[in-house]
Structures are given as structure tokens and as C-alpha cells.
């Protein structure tokens, strides 16, 4: 779904002089004092921030909430933390960078304008998600783009071997996957377990990865 073409974005000035993005008539931050609003918002996540050095933020807006999260993360973690922000609108990030000066360094990574499939095709994002970060949904953004964020959080990766092979860089392993008679990942695992011949190195690798990711799907077998 292309959110860029479906939404109208404008910038208005808050009563306290801060720029605020307005999407389809909805203010993504307080029209009076967005920084004060951000402080109150982040207070609700103080315990989460204290216990998690990796935070996934759903919704960018003009990043007043990100400013406050960074401030709190530095209090508890120094520079040893990572924040990743995902937002469906690329234009929001473009306008943000035009209207505000951000100094987050490498501690904050912004991803905007990606479809849900593109999010999960991005190795850096997937690697970050594998750390099981705490999730902080920015209220206004989440409410405005509920379908996007709910789909993002409930996404199920494709298990057919053609889709899996697209994420494999090793040519031998890719060939092994594509040449296998099985059509799906779990069918592949089961077929390896039922083989009468000796396992090859890629069989072992596949089962090893499967035992890490979903041990309930792997059955033990004594090698003959």
C-alpha cells in the first residue's frame, strides 16, 4: 500500500513556536507545546527504558518523542543503546529533516516509507528485531496508521523455498534450497529427518538453524 499518495501533509506552528506535522487534518504532536507533551508521553515508558537498551518506536512525526526517549536512554544506558524508528511515510522524514536539526548519531536509525514486506526484507531491520527490542508506539502516529502498524507487528514471513532463497547470499546453499524437491521450509526439514541416506553439510546446517529458531519442529534421529 502506498501511503504517500493517500495522505496530505502540511506543517503548522504550535503555540510555543514548534513545527508540527499535520496529516489528513490530524496533528501528530500537541498544537500547543509538543516538547512538554513528549515528556509526559515518555514518562509512561520509564520502566521500559530502564530495562531495555534496544527500543523500537512506531511512528516518527517530528521526533519530539524521540528526543525525549534519547534523553532518558542516555540517563540509564549512556551511549550503549539503540533506537529504531519505523514510519510508513517517507515525506514525514523529509519534512522533519528540513525543519528540525537532529543530532542523534548512530544511536537512532530512521526507516520511513517502507512497505511491511520491505521492512522484513531489510537485513538491518530484521537483525535489530531479533534482539527483541521493547516497542514504544507513538500514540498519534499509531492511531492514524493502525492498519500499517498492526500488519507490521503481526507479520508472518513466507516459508516457501523460493522466498527463502532470495535472502541467501551463499550460491551453494541457494542452489541446495532451490534444487530441493520440497516446496516449503517445514517440508524440507521433515524430508531431511526422514532421509535414509547420510546427511550432507547443508542438511546439517538446515537442521541446526531450525533447532535454533523452532526446536519443536525438529525431531532427533540417530545417524546410521
> Considering just the CA atoms, what is the radius of gyration of the chain in Å?
22
How many whole angstroms separate alpha carbon 110 and alpha carbon 73?
17
Residue 174 has pLDDT above 50, yes or no: yes
Confidence of residue 26 (pLDDT cuts 50, 70, 90): very high
pLDDT for 49-103, tens place per residue? 999 999 999 999 999 999 999 999 999 999 999 999 999 999 999 999 999 999 9
What value does the mean pLDDT take over residues 97-126? 92
Percentage, residues of the chain above pLDDT 70: 81
Q: Which residue has the higher pLDDT, 174 or 46?
A: 46
For cell 530502564, the residue is 50
For cell 528540513, the residue is 98
pLDDT reported for residue 222: 38
Residue 195 has pLDDT above 70, yes or no: yes
What value does the mean pLDDT take over residues 9-23? 96
What value does the mean pLDDT take over residues 168-186? 72
**SS3 call for 184:** strand
Residue 216 has pLDDT above 90, yes or no: no
Residue 140 has pLDDT above 90, yes or no: yes
Q: Which residue has the higher pLDDT, 205 or 115?
A: 115
Q: Could you give the domains of the chain?
A: 3-153 (3.40.50), 161-217 (no CATH)
How many whole angstroms separate alpha carbon 22 and alpha carbon 19?
10
Q: How far is C-alpha 65 from the chain's CA centre?
A: 18
Confidence of residue 2 (pLDDT cuts 50, 70, 90): low
pLDDT reported for residue 84: 97
Residue 221 has pLDDT above 50, yes or no: no
Strand order across the beta sheet in which 108-112 lies: 108-112, 82-87, 54-58, 134-137
Percentage, residues of the chain above pLDDT 90: 59
Amino acid at each position: 500500500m502506498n501511503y504517500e499518495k493517500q495522505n496530505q501533509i502540511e506543517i503548522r506552528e504550535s503555540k510555543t513556536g514548534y513545527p508540527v506535522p499535520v496529516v489528513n487534518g490530524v496533528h501528530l504532536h500537541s498544537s500547543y507545546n509538543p516538547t512538554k507533551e513528549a515528556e509526559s508521553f515518555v514518562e509512561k515508558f520509564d520502566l521500559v527504558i530502564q530495562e531495555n537498551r534496544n527500543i523500537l518506536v512506531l511512528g516518527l512525526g517530528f521526533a519530539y518523542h524521540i528526543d525525549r526517549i534519547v534523553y532518558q536512554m542516555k540517563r540509564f544506558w549512556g551511549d550503549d543503546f539503540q533506537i529504531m524508528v519505523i514510519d510508513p511515510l517517507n515525506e514525514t522524514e523529509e519534512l522533519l529533516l528540513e525543519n528540525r536539526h537532529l543530532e542523534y548519531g548512530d544511536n537512532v536509525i530512521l526507516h520511513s516509507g517502507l512497505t511491511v514486506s520491505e521492512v522484513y526484507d531489510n537485513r538491518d531491520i530484521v537483525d535489530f528485531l531479533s534482539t527483541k527490542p521493547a516497542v514504544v508506539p507513538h500514540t498519534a502516529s499509531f492511531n492514524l496508521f493502525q492498519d500499517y502498524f498492526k500488519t507490521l507487528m503481526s507479520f508472518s514471513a513466507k516459508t516457501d523455498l523460493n522466498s527463502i532463497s532470495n535472502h541467501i547470499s551463499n550460491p551453494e546453499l541457494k542452489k541446495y534450497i532451490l534444487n530441493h524437491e520440497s516446496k516449503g521450509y517445514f517440508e524440507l526439514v521433515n524430508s531431511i529427518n526422514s532421509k535414509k541416506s547420510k546427511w550432507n553439510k547443508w542438511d546439517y546446517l538446515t537442521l541446526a538453524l531450525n533447532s535454533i529458531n523452532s526446536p519443536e519442529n525438529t525431531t532427533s534421529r540417530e545417524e546410521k
